[in-house]
Structure 1
Amino acid sequence: MNRQLLHTPEGVRDIYGKEYARKLAVEDLIHDRLRLYGYQDIQTPTFEFFDVFSREIGTTSSRELYKFFDKEGNTLVLRPDFTPSMARCAAKYFMDEDIPIRFCYAGNTFTNTGSLQGKLKEVTQMGAELIGDGSVQADGEMIALVVESLLEAGLKDFQVSIGQMEYFKGICAQAGLDEQTENELRSLISDKNIFGAEELLTGRGVAQSYCKMLLKVSEHFGSVEVLNEAKGLVNNPRSLEAVRRLENLYRVLQSYGVAKYVSFDLGMLSKYNYYTGIIFKAYTYGVGEPVVKGGRYDRLLGYFGKKAPAVGFAIVVDDLMSALERQKACAYEEDEIRVLTYHASDYEEKLLEARKLRAKGIRTVLRPDL
């Protein structure tokens, strides 16, 4: 026997027994919360045409996609995230729909990362997408739903950090940055590489006043008070409107009763190009990566022929389970399994007993007495 066949490839793993039971229980709790808000289940294919996740749409880079070909020669990819698939579905099946659409989903995503650093290449995500509603109230519903879903799953100590892509983009436009410079700068600031960002701006001849504004973006993080500081440092309408929207969002979150779980970070800039307004991530201790990622993507559906605003989020279930385990916060206890053993002489009797127990909802195993 080839013992190598007993092992999984790097970046994937088996989940079984009590661990998998706990994961399914948490997924059920989150799913119930999503449905409580009126979100309807949708299932999309595990693989799509390459162009659904193309560079123009702004999702995962090509080198991190699992690519293969069908017999017609089309390039296909395993989905790296759900949002472009949701946008494609909405454009295909609800092209003429004006009423907001609410989707929720669960499934696995695949990212062929070169440097693992303990990260899985296949993870389970659950999420929700609200399509056709561009209001700040829709933003608030998404973030409130994130908070309530995490609480429902058993997580108590976490923070949802909220950013605004338009604040940064407004300064970039005012400074006259080209798209390539803006993308490079966004990556550097997102990685908190301020020295690299300063070197980039100086090398591109950006005026000192704009350099100061752009570099200070990373300093605007904390409670709602940082919004006043951020507003006082800019003078372009686009950035000012972005801050005003965050202030309105905070009031919506206060109405939901979840404001204590949120903070703000205007230096949080996603690598996904399709985000256009608010972005947010949920962090907790015991896990190095955010357990939730989300934001507004008002132009994404336009790539598929439907102009509609949208906002959504994805919970990385595997990271959430790690956090729950390390914080000893998963309250799920698997029901005990009753074991009935039988001999050939009393099989019928034990089978009847097992059927009665199962009818009462008691998990029962019937096995021979060896």
Structure 2
Amino acid sequence: MSKVLLHTPDGVRDIYGEECSDKIIIAEKIHSKMKSFGYHDIDTPTFEYFDVFAEEINNNDAKELYKFFDKEGNTLVLRPDFTPSIARCASKVLLENGTPVRVCYEGKTFLNTSNLQGKLKENYNIGVELMNDDSVMADAEMIALLVTCLKSAGLSDFQISVGDAGFYKGLCIEAGIDRETEEAIREQITSKNYFAAESLMNERNIDSKYIDQILKVSEFIGSDDALEKAENIANNEMSLNAVQRLKKLYKVLTSYGVQKYISFDLSVLSKFNYYTGVIFSAYTYGAPDAIAKGGRYDNLLGKYGKEAPAIGFVIILDDLISACKRQGIEFEHEASAISVTYNENNFDDALKKATDLRQQGKNVCLLHE
């Protein structure tokens, strides 16, 4: 038999048995927490027009999209991210009366990453979006909900790094850095490659004063004391407003009682261009990268026709479950099916017994003797 018929392509895998049922159980637990905060379900298409995502990613990342064409010659892509799809949908049908809109979703995303990165190309995501609310309270609700969701999966040892995209963008605007250069610098900072970021800025003849300021984002990490240090170098309104908003955010998160899970890191950025304010990532032992990411994107919905502030997060469920297992966290497994045997003479009785048990919520398998 052909190898192609027996094996999956690189970056995807089969999931079955207990692993598959565990994934469904964890997703249901997280989903119930999202619903408890008043979020409603939404389901958007697996593929979209390329233009839905084109402006929000740089040229290098655009190469990682799975692209194909419809019969009319339009370029389509498998979704690499849910947020632009939901923003498109919400702009069309959900934002008419100006009241806050809360939606939750789950499904797969697709990125044709390099095999050398060791990442899956198909990931199961579950997340939320809160639109029509630009308040610090909305920022805090999002982070507090993320804490609640991660704890519901059994995780207890994790940290959420919180920054603000406005702090970095303010520094770049003050330095007169163009968008292309800003994206290139951000890509290096996101990868924690500050040497490459410094070299790039030197190549583009950026004033050394601003180079030092931008590289200092890597130093503003830790408790709320880090915000005081960041505030001392913020010489522009955008960066200063970002720090002051983070201070207010910390007070609200303290009211939620989740402050022990929070650390500030003003180098937390994203390769996606749409983030405008608070941005955060969740980390835990046993996961090489963030198991959840989120942030504020106040300018994205307007690109689809309806201006509205918004914030959201996504949990990469595969990575969350993998980290939990590496930490030895025990899952609540699905109950084993009860076996009811039958032969030609007693099939009716066996079927009645199986039916009664199923009506009681039991899983029942009929087996021939």
Same fold judged by TM-score > 0.5?
yes
Residues 289-368 of structure 1: matches in 2 within 5 Å? Answer: 289-368=289-368
Are the aligned partners of 1:11 and 1:116 in contact in 2 as well (CA < 8 Å)? no
* Segment drifting more, 66-75 vs 31-40: 66-75
1:55-101 deviation digits (Å, cap 9, x = unpaired): x2337822111111111111111101100001001111135331111
Question: What residue identity is the alignment partner of 2:112?
Answer: N
- What's 1:57 paired with? 56
More off after superposition, 67-76 vs 275-284 = 67-76
Say which SS state the counterpart of residue 113 (structure 1) adopts. coil
CA contact (8 A) 1:338 1:365 kept: yes
Cα contact 2:294–2:311 (8 A) shared by 1: yes
User: 2:158 matched to which residue of 1?
Assistant: 158
Unmatched 5+ residue regions in structure 1? none
Q: Matches of 2:56 and 2:211 in 1, distance apart?
A: 28
Report the CA distance between 1:180 and its aligned residue: 1.9
Q: SS in structure 1 opposite 2:345?
A: helix
For residues 292 and 226 of structure 2, the distance between their equivalents in structure 1, rounded to whole angstroms, comes to 23
| 1:103 equivalent in alignment to 2:131 | no
Matching residue of 1:204: 204
Which letter maps to 1:57? E
Question: Percent sequence identity over matched residues?
Answer: 53
1:213 corresponds to: 213
Instruction: Report how far residue 116 of structure 1 moved.
Output: 4.5
Does the CA contact (< 8 Å) of 2:95 and 2:101 recur in 1? no
Describe the superposition over 1:285-334 as per-residue Cα deviations: whole angstroms up to 9, x where unpaired.
10101110110001101110111110000000100110111112243122
1:201: Cα distance to partner? 2.2
- In structure 2, how many angstroms separate the alpha carbons of the residues matched to 1:44 and 1:181? 33
Residues in 1 aligned to 2:57 and 2:338: alpha-carbon distance in whole angstroms = 52
Alpha-carbon distance, 1:177 to partner: 1.4
Alignment of 1:174-185 (within 5 A): 174-185=174-185
SS of the residue aligned with 2:183? helix
Q: Aligned AA for 1:359? A: Q
Shift of 1:36: 0.5
Q: Which residue identity is paired with 2:210?
A: Y
SS in 2 for 1:21: helix
Alignment check: 8 A CA contact 1:337 1:362 kept = yes
Q: Which residue of 1 aligns with 2:128?
A: 128
Aligned counterpart, 2:253: 253
**Per-residue CA shift, 1:240-262, capped at 9, x if unaligned?**
11100000000110011111101
Distance 1:303 1:313, change over 3 A: same
Q: Does 1:192 align with 2:192?
A: yes
Q: 1:239 to 1:3 in 2, by over 3 A?
A: closer
Tell me the SS of whatever aligns to 2:336.
coil
The worse-fitting range, judged by mean Cα deviation, of 81-90 and 186-195 is: 186-195
1:24-58: CA deviation from partner (whole Å, max 9, x where unpaired): 0000000100001110000001011111111x233
Runs of 4+ deviating beyond 3 Å: none
Unaligned runs of 5+ in 2: none
* SS at structure 2 position matched to 1:314: strand
Name the CA distance, whole Å, in 2 between partners of 1:185 and 1:336. 52
Higher mean alpha-carbon deviation, 315-324 vs 346-355, is at: 346-355
Contact 2:10 2:115 in 1 (8 A): no
Does the residue aligned with 2:63 lie in a helix, a strand or coil? helix
Letter in 2 for 1:260: K
What is the rounded CA distance, in whole Å, between the counterparts of 1:334 and 1:241 in structure 2?
49
Alpha-carbon distance between aligned partners in 1 of 2:200 and 2:361, rounded to the nearest angstrom: 64
Does structure 1 retain, via aligned residues, the 8 Å contact 2:21–2:333? Answer: no
Contact between 2:68 and 2:77, CA under 8 Å: does it hold in 1?
yes
Question: Is the 8 Å Cα contact of residues 154 and 331 (structure 1) preserved in structure 2?
Answer: yes
Q: Which amino acid aligns with 2:352?
A: L
Aligned Cα root-mean-square deviation (Å): 1.4
Q: Is the 8 A contact 1:227 1:247 kept in 2?
A: yes
Tell me, what secondary structure is at the counterpart of 1:235?
coil
By how many angstroms is 1:3 displaced?
Answer: 4.3
Aligned equivalent of 2:146: 146
Range 197-206 or range 122-131, more displaced: 197-206
Determine the C-alpha separation between the residues in 1 that align with 2:116 and 2:312. Answer: 26
Q: 208-217 or 26-35: which moved more?
A: 208-217
196-205 or 277-286, larger mean C-alpha shift: 196-205
Name the counterpart of 1:263: 263
- Residue pair 2:46, 2:79 contacting (<8 A) in 1 also: yes
The separation in 2 between residues aligned to 1:119 and 1:211, in whole angstroms, is 32
